Amino acid sequence: MVWIRHESGEQTVIKNGQALGPESPLETDEAGYAEVEDEDRAALLTTLDPNVVRTSEPDTDDDQFDAAVFVDRTPMDDVIADIESGDVDDHLEALEDEASRDGVLEAIAERRE
């Protein structure tokens, strides 16, 4: 299985009989994600449609990530440990924008190194 995403944000189905064959039209979720059964079909689809990209499996919690809530948690040691784990690397910029505690800012800076 290969995950793809239609980046227009408006597409609810991906129609391409040449790439998808009997899987066309392929329905996407509200964020534009869809799963393609065949690696070659996914590769052809991303070649034929510039709005379709390969992606990792969507993380449903990722769409609801709140950097302000994350950095304001107490104790601060838990926030730092979560940053050091690498689990929030995709959100470092947002975390830095919201962080005011020196320890959190230092953990973000170290993670970027």
* pTM for the full predicted model: 0.48
Q: Give the tens place of pLDDT for each residue, 28-83.
A: 887 778 888 888 888 898 898 888 888 877 665 545 678 888 898 888 999 999 99
A 10 A CB-CB count for 36 gives 23
Comparing CA positions, the residue from 102, 103, 59 lying closest to residue 84 is 103
- Give the gyration radius of the chain's Cα atoms: 19
Contacts of 63-68 with CB under 8 Å at 24 or more apart are 63/31, 65/91, 65/94, 67/91, 67/94, 67/95, 67/97, 67/98, 68/98
Lookup: tokens for 72? 């304001």
